[in-house]
C-alpha cells in the first residue's frame, strides 16, 4: 500500500486530440518523391471534394491555394512519370476513417 490517499483526479491530465489528427493537412501528394507526401495520412484514407463533386483521381491538392492536380490521361513525361494538370477551384478534404460526421478541411 502507499502512504498517499487517492484524490479522485487522474494522475495526468487528459489531452484533447490535436486538430491535426482530425482534419487532413493543407497540402498532400501521393507521389513518394514529393515533399508533401505522407504515407501515414494517406493510409488513413483522405477523401477529396473538388467543385462540389467527390473525386478519386487526385494526385495532389492544396486547400489554401484552391487547386488539385490530376493525371492527364495515360500520357507520360520523358522520365516515365504521368503528366498532370492543375485545376483551380474550391477544395475540401476529410479523413474517411472518421465516418460520416468527419470534420472537413476547407478554405474559408
How do the domains of the chain map onto residue ranges? 24-99
pLDDT of 42 > 80? The answer is yes
- On the 0-12 / 13-18 / 19+ scale of CB atoms within 10 A, 37 is middle
pLDDT tens, position by position, 70-86: 999 999 999 998 999 99
> What predicted TM-score, i.e. pTM, was given to this entire model?
0.77
* Per-residue pLDDT, 11: 39
Identify the three-state secondary structure at position 99. coil
Q: With beta carbons less than 8 A apart as the criterion, state whether 67 and 89 touch.
A: yes
Q: With beta carbons less than 8 A apart as the criterion, state whether 95 and 45 touch.
A: yes
Q: Rounded mean pLDDT of 16-22?
A: 58
The C-alpha atoms of residue 28 and residue 68 are separated, in whole angstroms, by 10
pLDDT band at 18 (very low <50, low <70, confident <90, very high): very low
Q: With beta carbons less than 8 A apart as the criterion, state whether 24 and 95 touch.
A: yes
Amino acid at each position: 500500500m502507499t502512504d498517499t490517499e487517492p484524490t479522485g483526479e487522474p494522475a495526468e491530465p487528459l489531452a484533447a486530440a490535436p486538430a491535426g489528427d482530425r482534419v487532413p493537412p493543407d497540402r498532400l501528394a501521393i507521389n513518394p518523391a514529393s515533399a508533401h507526401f505522407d504515407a501515414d495520412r494517406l493510409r488513413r484514407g483522405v477523401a477529396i471534394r473538388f467543385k462540389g463533386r467527390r473525386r478519386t483521381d487526385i494526385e495532389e491538392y492544396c486547400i489554401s491555394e484552391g487547386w488539385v492536380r490530376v493525371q492527364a490521361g495515360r500520357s507520360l513525361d520523358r522520365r516515365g512519370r504521368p503528366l498532370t494538370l492543375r485545376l483551380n477551384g474550391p477544395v475540401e478534404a476529410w479523413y474517411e476513417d472518421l465516418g460520416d460526421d468527419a470534420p472537413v478541411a476547407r478554405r474559408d
